[in-house]
Amino acid sequence: MNQRDERWIGRERERETKKGRERNKERERESRIEGQAPTQERFVKRFPENFSSNATSFVGQRQSLEESKFQKGK
């Protein structure tokens, strides 16, 4: 391994740690905003249609809510 390779690896590690710090700051900020909810719950709240294990229950709840709104409007 030559010096250029070592510098490149060092830069890659630097980028990764910077990304990691940014992710951690984002998580901390979100947890303060959402009242310390676990990461999975925050994700489900934000993207329920993308969350495979709970997707059907969320879709069902959403549909029933929309149907009840529709029936009230009649």
Q: What is the DSSP letter of 50?
A: G
> Which pTM does this prediction carry?
0.29
- Tally of domains in the chain: 1
Q: Which of 33, 63, 35, 36 is nearest to 48 (CA)?
A: 63
Its domain, for residue 52, covers 3-73
Q: Model confidence over 6-44: pLDDT tens digits?
A: 888 888 888 788 888 888 888 888 777 655 555 566 566
Phi/psi for 28 (5° steps) reads: -60, -45
Tokens encoding 39: 């990461």
- Greater model confidence, 30 or 66: 30
Using 50, 70 and 90 to split pLDDT, how confident is the model at 55? very low
- Greater model confidence, 44 or 74: 44
Q: Model confidence over 35-46: pLDDT tens digits?
A: 555 556 656 666
Tokens encoding 74: 């009649």
